[in-house]
Structure 1
Amino acid sequence: MEIIEILGYSGALLIGLVLGLIGGGGSILTVPILVYALAINPVTATAYSLFVVGSTSLVGAVKNMIKGMVDFKTAIIFAIPAFIAVYLTRAFLIPIIPEILFSIDGFEVTKNLAIMLFFAVIMLLASISMVRNNRKENEEETEIKYNYPLIIIEGLVVGTITGIVGAGGGFLIIPALVLLANLPMKKAVATSLFIIAIKSLIGFVGDVQNLAIDWNFLLVFTGLSVIGIFIGVWLNKFIDGKKLKKAFGWFVLVMGIYIIYKELAG
């Protein structure tokens, strides 16, 4: 096994580790690790990412369910439009995107290039959300009210983004749960993880009908990520999650800039 492959599989542990330590963000690393360390095609990488993200998030979601932290009614209301959008994106939108979108003075903008650049933009937005992190930690139980039109729009947008880049979209879902449903922060984080798990796995179902899946590789990679979650949860007892989240945000920012540079310069 080459060093770059070892780094790739080590990256699977890192994905789970980050998720266990700060409750999110690990999924943003999955596609870059699969593409750059393990040389997997971006379209396939985003599909694999959905499975990895969905499976690892499900582990965290089950723990939250046992603790009674998941608001199932809110999760269902938010999730239905997201489920529909992510499935339709993976099953029908991604397959019909042409391999070459357009060319400018001989420079071809391919489907793979567009996906990676869009992913990099999402990384930059996620990094800003993690670095700033100015949300008030409101933990009081308040009356839950639903802004249905905005919830439907937000669900469709998050579902489509998840379908295109293969990331969970927690940095979009958590603020929406706090602002549009009035959930306390801890419940919003727990409910978001449940939504991400189901949404990602439904999106992956849309890929199964279009892609040849290397199940041996995918299950090993996902298994390592799940192990990483348990290590991260244990380490969380000794590390300040807020400071770590901000530091990780800066790392994601650098990664996003690197992807843009690599894709355009390469």
Structure 2
Amino acid sequence: MLLASFFGLLMGLIMGLTGAGGGILGVPALVLGLGLSMTTAAPVSLFAVGAAAAVGAIDGLRHGLVRYRAALLIALLGALFSPLGVFFAHQLPEKVLMVLFSALMVLVAWRMLRREQVEAGPSDHGAASWGQKNCMLNQQTGRFAWTTKCTATLAALGAVTGAVSGLLGVGGGFLIVPAFKQLTDVQMRGIVATSLMVISLISLVGVIGAFHAGVSIDAMGWVFIGASIVGMLVGRRLGSLIKAGVLQVGFASLCGVVAVGMLFNAFAPA
């Protein structure tokens, strides 16, 4: 139980510091640290990620940072495609899932290292000129201009996020944050808050799908979930004290190390 508390606290802490990125460490912590299988670890990780993300999303709603219409659209498509990911997770061999997860962690580390620094300005508007992004904020209302292009873009993002979430037991923040940054003119503080809301909603659907497939969470899993929520609260308080560049390099390095560990575990003799 002590080990479950430690890993849960660590995952929540990193999640709070990086704006959802730490969720990808949940499954490796449960598989490598606590000895769970991929299919058993996925719903525990999703539950922990979703609960911790909900804490951050509520804080973002209080400060008016969540693009809730966009979040609901992405979450809706994610909800439709998440069960598909859960289905394939139960069809694929354990070794294949571990290899896929390792590849995903390498991708996240690479994206984290090359992410440019963006400071939150006095408002949530970006500096892009009209038409440069798929989804643009109306400068008068501060809300998205819901064009066909914008709606289709966010729907596609939701579908991909949901499928990956169900398949590998991750919240999807590593997809949503860079995609929002690339496709919209929303500032980072609004992106992170919106991402946390989407993650909490999609994770809930993934957990329900896993329960429907017969997976249950034991006492150790609940301890992990509770500790992750505490870690998220602590991480959000410490975020302003640590430089973003240090966090990005540290998190990317940790992802690389864990990816190697997952590959080693996948091909280690039984």
Structure 2 length normalisation: TM-score?
0.84
Q: Matched residues, percent identical?
A: 31
Q: Find 1:190's aligned residue among 188, 193, 201.
A: 193
Does the Cα contact within 8 Å between 1:20 and 1:232 map onto a contact in 2? yes
Does the Cα contact within 8 Å between 2:117 and 2:244 map onto a contact in 1? no
Counterparts of 2:151 and 2:215 in 1: how far apart (Å)? 38
Most deviating of 198-207 and 135-144: 135-144
Does the Cα contact within 8 Å between 1:44 and 1:211 map onto a contact in 2? no
SS of 2:241's equivalent in the other structure is coil
Runs of 4+ with deviation above 4 angstroms: 135-140
* 1:176 alignment counterpart: 179
Would you say 1:214 and 2:210 are equivalent positions? Answer: no
Counterparts of 2:240 and 2:118 in 1: how far apart (Å)? 22
Q: Find 2:102's aligned residue among 112, 120, 128.
A: 120
Would you say 1:93 and 2:88 are equivalent positions? Answer: yes
Aligned CA-pair RMSD = 2.0
Would you say 1:7 and 2:3 are equivalent positions? Answer: yes
Most deviating of 224-233 and 191-200: 224-233
In 2 relative to 1, CA 175–122 (structure 1 residues): closer, same or farther, beyond 3 Å?
Answer: same
Structure 1 length normalisation: TM-score?
0.85
Q: Deviations over 1:106-145 (max 9, x none)?
A: xxxxx11111111111111111111111264474524334
* 1:101 alignment counterpart: none
Counterparts of 1:50 and 1:82 in 2: how far apart (Å)? 13
Aligned AA for 2:261? Answer: Y
* 2:133 alignment counterpart: none
Counterparts of 1:242 and 1:179 in 2: how far apart (Å)? 19
SS of 1:232's equivalent in the other structure is helix
Would you say 1:58 and 2:61 are equivalent positions? Answer: no
Give the drift of 1:162: 0.9
Would you say 1:202 and 2:205 are equivalent positions? Answer: yes
Structure 2: 5+ residue stretches without partners: 126-136, 139-143
Counterparts of 1:85 and 1:33 in 2: how far apart (Å)? 25
Counterparts of 2:195 and 2:235 in 1: how far apart (Å)? 18
Would you say 1:245 and 2:241 are equivalent positions? Answer: no
Structure 1: 5+ residue stretches without partners: 99-110
In 2 relative to 1, CA 239–184 (structure 1 residues): closer, same or farther, beyond 3 Å?
Answer: closer
Aligned length: 248
Does the Cα contact within 8 Å between 2:47 and 2:203 map onto a contact in 1? yes
* 1:107 alignment counterpart: none
Aligned AA for 1:112? Answer: E
* 2:114 alignment counterpart: 132
Aligned AA for 2:175? Answer: L
Does the Cα contact within 8 Å between 2:20 and 2:195 map onto a contact in 1? no
